[in-house]
Each structure stands twice: as structure tokens, then as C-alpha cells.
Structure 1
Amino acid sequence: MRIGPSFFDGKPSFQLVYCAFDHYAGDIHMLDEVRRLDDGRYLGIGRTGRSAEE
């Protein structure tokens, strides 16, 4: 877990990084991002990559 720049727009997001775990989600370099919107709702999106850098 970390706070880092969003892959999509560079704004800060809470990120769940799965590559630290011995699990399928880590093998496909899954990363979830969560952000709180101005109206108090939360927005989450996940993505996968070919490498940890993606």
C-alpha cells in the first residue's frame, strides 16, 4: 500500500500493489487505485501490466 501518482492523470491516489505477494494478482502486476471524490464518494480502478514498472 502506498500513496502515489495515479497512472491515469498523475493525481495522488491510494494504491494497493499486489506484486509484493505470492499470488496470481502479483504475477500479473495488478495495481488498484482508490480516490475520494469531492462529494465524499470513493472511486476505484484496477489495472495490470507486463512489468512492475507499468
Structure 2
Amino acid sequence: QVCPGVTPPTGAVKVTPGHSPQDLALARAHGLPLLSVIADDGTLRPPGGGWLQ
């Protein structure tokens, strides 16, 4: 499916396996790593924390 406003189309998609059962299934089907960037105390941790803090 072509997304309006994306020229040229890149084929890139956003996949958020921690927030969507469909995205989790897609990530598992393609062997994508599951990353957790939020620590138990609510702070960001690597790989998401370094440049965002």
C-alpha cells in the first residue's frame, strides 16, 4: 500500500511490538529483536536513553 505524501516510497514501516499484538506477531515472524527502552522506574535506558536524556 502506498502512503500519501511519502515520495519516493521507502518500504519502511513502524513496528512497535511492545504496544501491538499485530506488531509483536510481525516481529516474531521476521526474527526482529524485542527491545525494551523503559526501565522499571520509568526512566529511559539503552538503547533509547542515551541521546534522549
Same fold by TM-score, threshold 0.5 exceeded?
no
From the two aligned structures, give the one with the greater strand fraction: 1
- Report the structure number with the largest CA radius of gyration: 2
TM-score, normalisation: structure 2: 0.22
* TM-score, scaled relative to structure 1: 0.22
